[in-house]
Amino acid sequence: RAAGICGSDIPRIYRDGAHRMPLVPGHEFSGEVAETGGGTAGGWEGKRVAVFPLIPCRSCPACRMGGYEMCRRYSYLGSRQDGGFAEFVVVPAANLVELPEGVTFEQAAMAEPAAVAAHALKRVELAQENSVVVWGAGTVGLLLVMLLMARGIRNVFVVGKRDAQRKAVLSIGLDEERYCDGSREDAARWIAERTENNGADVVFECVGKNETIASAVGAAALAGSVCVVGNPQSDIVLPRDLYWKILRNQLTVTGTWNSSFVFDDDGMEDVAGETNGSDWKYVRGMMGDGLIHPEKLITHRLPFSDLERGLCMMRDKTEPYIKVMVHD
């Protein structure tokens, strides 16, 4: 019923190709279960669902400890097998997430990037009084801001570079003075001025470039934390001075990857709205309770028949955008 175009879809389609060709891309999607295979339990037909796109092997060391996002033999809807840019897609019933009554298909199609943001949030220790910088105001960065605000953390600063990102920050309730346009201002100085030259307790780097990783490390307070979220856009090199900052300031630098999911047969208690367990059920609960509104980040809504127009717009950057959504 709805599918978001991820930034990773553009090089996959137009430059690098996929792990298996030919392939239907699309891994951020929601829909209605039209039919189930023999032996499928749970009465899924007709239900409204989001879909966890990672299909783990369930047998490698990561899977055995429940870290399915780190599976070493996984498949993936939209990159290793056919995904959601189609009228129908075959998915494992175990990967379905039933939607609460008030959650729309558009919101549910953003559950995947929202779960990625929630997973990054769990990778650091956060207190409500902490100062937090989100460096990079794309979809995941802005969803991080939403989740931080929903957690009651108000001392949040965002570094972006486009007017569309500034407008998105305002639309989700952050004050304009907490947004820095890094293309026009010295972001390092801007953060220092707002943290009494102490730096931020936590920095989320959501870009994946050498210069922004260096800036994120430089913006962290003594004994602070840097969570590296952005996919690398090139080789990442640590200059000696940057390495010294990590050592001398005793920073905690952590990576994050994908999102956690709890399968029904795992035997784990998983309560929607709590931060342990499944990132998917967490964001489902947050959306169902009206605590986050990811649909505010949708800048373009297109029918499925115009999917190529949306892909080309993102590839060629002919219009400013945050999230491009296609729907039936």
Per-residue pLDDT of 76-114, as tens digits, reads 999 999 999 999 999 999 999 999 999 999 999 999 999
Average pLDDT over residues 214-219: 96
Q: Would you state the pLDDT for residue 270?
A: 44
Residue 5, pLDDT above cutoff 60: yes
pLDDT attached to residue 41 = 73
> Alpha carbon 112 to chain centroid distance?
6
More confident residue, 38 or 118: 118
Q: Residue 277: what pLDDT?
A: 73
